[in-house]
Amino acid sequence: MATPEHTDPRAALRSGLPDRYLTPEDLVTMFSLPSVETVYQWRRKGIGPTGFRVGRYLRFNPAAVRAWEAERTALTDAA
């Protein structure tokens, strides 16, 4: 009987994380927004992609941004 392969928990954690989290400035560039303030307004209104704080900095998981964009695109296509 084969024994289960033991993996390094740190390696498993690293494989689940993106190479780089996105900044509000990245979202401005990606979506051609007028300013970073738009991203912060979305956050206050709860209508933008889910972000999180790292100290005083706001960061976005690229997968969450892709999911939010896909959802918004589906809503626009359905209208």
Q: What is the set of domains in the chain, with CATH numbers?
A: 18-78 (1.10.10)
pLDDT of residue 76: 79
Is pLDDT of 58 > 90? yes
Cβ count within 10 A of residue 22: 19
The answer to whether 60 and 50 have CB atoms below 8 angstroms apart is yes
Instruction: Give 14-57 pLDDT, tens digit per residue.
Output: 566 678 999 999 999 999 999 999 999 999 999 999 999 999 99
Give the distance, in angstroms, between the CA of residue 58 and the centroid of all CA atoms in the same chain: 11
CA distance 66 to 53: 19
**Which helix H or strand E contains 60, and what residues bound it?**
strand 57-60
pLDDT of residue 1: 47
